Each structure stands twice: as structure tokens, then as C-alpha cells.
């Protein structure tokens, strides 16, 4: 089966309202730009095989090898009075982590043994790790009335095709499992999980998602640095902030920023 993200491959797999409409481009600058300010409804998705100006967090570039990864953006319109927007990073990260875990578990049910030691985890606030390496990243860009949620998942890159300059050691589903994965199936599953998590969050806030975050917290017990806070990851607060136990024994709550793991 060809590994295509064209509408005819994706549309039959969609389960909910996310992905409608579905805009696909073989090449574009950034899928973020296809959605921003276009007046599309919530749940609109843009996907591409290749981006010429893919964006990562903190002004970094997001590189891809054409046709090897999931490059998508989802348009969200959280109404006034929704829970705090920074929490959306975690909502999306859990959905992506679950979709990636589902793809890996799919191999196990097919009789594979590749699943061993391939735990997925969320590295606060919005990286998804497989076996400790970065497999996916999330970029949220918000204006007054919309949020464009960009998601990049390394799917079928070989180890030598993975970007070498990334701050975190990179991996792909293929590098981790030794098998290629159908991107359309992963995309449809990811959208269904994101829609479900997002709607739960709109109704009830972060509380129902905390157990999943707790289970998949890549930072708990790890020595880390977040901005000028140094210490050991101590979980995620009910409001989504990262808790860090500092050497003095106090627990600091970090609101935003990048986390670096200490060796
Ligand atoms: C990061 O980890 O720095 C976030 C990476 C986000 C990359 C995705 S790929 C699809 C969407 N379009 C972009 O230009 N960026 C996001």
C-alpha cells in the first residue's frame, strides 16, 4: 500500500470532525501558514509531504525529508473562558504520545517483538519521546481568536535521515521499531485522539488528563534545568506547570520554557 497523505488516502480513515476540511500540499513553506487567518472552521487540518520553511519552537527550523514524516497543523478555536491556553501543549502532547504508542503497539499485536523498551513519554511541555529520544514536537501559535497547533512526527526516516543538529537526540518510529509505518493511519488516529482530549479539556480542564500525563512524564525524577531553575522533576501541577524540586528542597513551579536534561 503506498504511503500517501493525499485526501483520498486520509478521508476514509477520519473518525470525527477534526480533518474537515483537510488541505494537503505535496510541498509548502509551513503547514502553519496554510491555516492561519484563513477563516476556516475549528478542526481544519493542513498536511504536507515537505515543508521548505518548517518552524520549530523558539525560532528554530523544523527539517524534514520529503514523504518521511507527519507534518500537520490543526486549527483550534477555544472559546472565551476556556482553560489557560498554555495547557493546550500538554493536551496535544498526550494525544500525540498515545497515537505514537498505538502505532508501536500495533506492531506487537501483529506478532512483533519490536515493542520492548519502546515506551513513549511526554517531555514537558510538548515533546514526545520514544525510548528517551525525541520523535515528535508541537508548536502552538495563537492569535486573539484562533490557535494553530502544529505537529511534526518523525515516522519513516532512517537513522541517517534524522536531523543531527537537534538539541534533543532524535528518533523516528522506523528507527525505533525497525519497521515502516503508514502515515495516513497514524494521522487519522492522532486527529481522533486530539479531538477527544481537546473536547475533554474544554469541558473539564486539565484534571482528567493528569493521570495520563503522570504515567508518561519523561521528567519525573530526572535532573533538569528549566530556565534558571535547576533541580529534579517532581511531576506536573494540576494547572499544567512543571514542578521542580530544587537542591534546597523547595518545589518550584515553572510556567513555560525549554527544559534541558542534565546528564
Ligand atoms: C518543536 O519541537 O520545535 C516543534 C516542531 C513543530 C513542527 C511542526 S511540522 C508541522 C507544523 N508546521 C511547521 O512549520 N511546524 C509545525
Q: What is the pLDDT of residues 134-169, one digit of tens each?
A: 999 999 999 989 999 999 999 999 999 998 766 789
Take atom 7 of ligand 1 and give the residue whose Cα is closest.
152
Distance of CA 234 to the CA centre of its chain: 22
Q: What is the mean pLDDT of residues 66-87?
A: 97
> H or E element: which one contains 229?
strand 229-236
pLDDT in the model for residue 105 = 87
Ligand 1 pocket mutation pick from 28, 35, 55 by most atoms within 8 angstroms of CB: 55
Quick count: other Cβ atoms within 10 Å of Cβ 42?
Answer: 16
Q: What is the mean pLDDT of residues 13-25?
A: 98
Q: Are 53 and 29 in contact (CB under 8 A)?
A: yes
Lowest mean pLDDT among 34-48, 67-81, 95-109, 214-228: 95-109
pLDDT, tens only, 47-74: 999 999 999 999 999 999 999 999 999 9
Q: What is the mean pLDDT of residues 112-129?
A: 81
Determine the distance separating the centroid of ligand 1 and the alpha carbon of 151, expressed in angstroms.
Answer: 5
pLDDT in the model for residue 1 = 61
Instruction: Please give the grid coordinates belonging to residue 253.
Output: 513551579
User: What is the percentage of the chain residues whose pLDDT exceeds 90?
Assistant: 89
The residues, any chain, with a CB within 8 Å of residue 183's CB and separated by 6 or more, are 3, 4, 5, 69, 70, 155, 156
Determine the distance separating the centroid of ligand 1 and the alpha carbon of 62, expressed in angstroms.
Answer: 6
Checking if the pLDDT of 115 tops 60, the result is: no
The answer to whether the Cα torsion of 217, 45, 183, 61 is positive or negative is: negative
Question: In the 8-state DSSP scheme, what is residue 2?
Answer: -
Determine the distance separating the centroid of ligand 1 and the alpha carbon of 124, expressed in angstroms.
Answer: 16
Determine the distance separating the centroid of ligand 1 and the alpha carbon of 149, expressed in angstroms.
Answer: 9
Q: Considering the entire predicted model, what is its pTM?
A: 0.95
Checking if the pLDDT of 108 tops 70, the result is: no
Residues with Cβ within 6 A of ligand 1? 30-32, 51, 54-57, 60, 62, 71-73, 127, 137-139, 150-152
- Is 253 strand, coil or helix? strand
Amino acid at each position: 500500500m503506498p504511503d500517501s497523505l493525499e485526501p483520498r488516502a486520509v478521508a476514509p480513515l477520519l473518525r470525527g470532525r477534526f480533518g474537515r476540511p483537510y488541505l494537503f500540499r505535496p510541498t509548502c513553506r509551513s503547514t502553519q501558514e496554510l491555516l492561519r487567518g484563513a477563516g476556516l472552521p475549528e478542526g481544519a487540518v493542513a498536511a504536507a509531504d515537505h515543508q521548505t520553511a518548517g518552524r520549530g519552537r523558539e525560532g528554530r527550523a523544523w527539517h524534514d525529508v520529503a514523504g518521511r514524516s507527519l507534518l500537520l497543523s490543526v486549527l483550534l478555536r477555544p472559546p472565551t473562558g476556556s482553560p489557560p491556553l498554555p495547557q493546550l501543549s500538554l493536551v496535544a502532547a498526550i494525544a500525540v504520545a498515545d497515537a505514537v504508542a498505538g502505532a508501536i503497539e500495533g506492531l506487537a499485536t501483529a506478532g512483533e517483538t519490536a515493542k520492548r523498551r519502546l515506551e513513549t513519554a511526554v517531555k514537558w511541555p510538548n515533546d514526545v519521546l520514544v525510548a528517551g529520544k525525541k520523535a515528535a514536537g508541537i508548536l502552538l501559535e495563537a492569535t486573539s481568536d484562533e490557535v494553530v497547533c502544529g505537529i511534526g512526527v518523525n515516522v519513516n526516516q532512517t537513522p541517517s535521515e534524522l536531523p543531527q543538529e537537534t538539541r534533543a537526540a532524535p528518533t523516528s518510529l522506523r528507527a525505533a521499531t525497525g519497521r515502516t509505518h503508514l502515515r495516513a493511519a497514524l494521522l487519522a488516529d492522532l486527529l481522533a485522539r486530539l479531538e477527544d482530549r481537546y473536547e475533554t479539556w474544554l469541558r473539564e480542564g486539565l484534571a482528567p488528563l493528569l493521570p495520563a500525563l503522570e504515567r508518561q512524564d519523561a521528567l519525573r525524577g530526572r535532573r533538569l534545568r528549566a530556565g534558571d531553575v535547576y533541580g529534579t522533576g517532581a511531576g506536573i501541577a494540576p494547572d499544567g506547570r512543571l514542578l521542580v524540586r530544587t537542591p534546597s528542597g523547595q518545589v518550584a513551579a515553572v510556567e513555560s520554557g525549554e527544559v534541558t536534561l542534565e546528564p
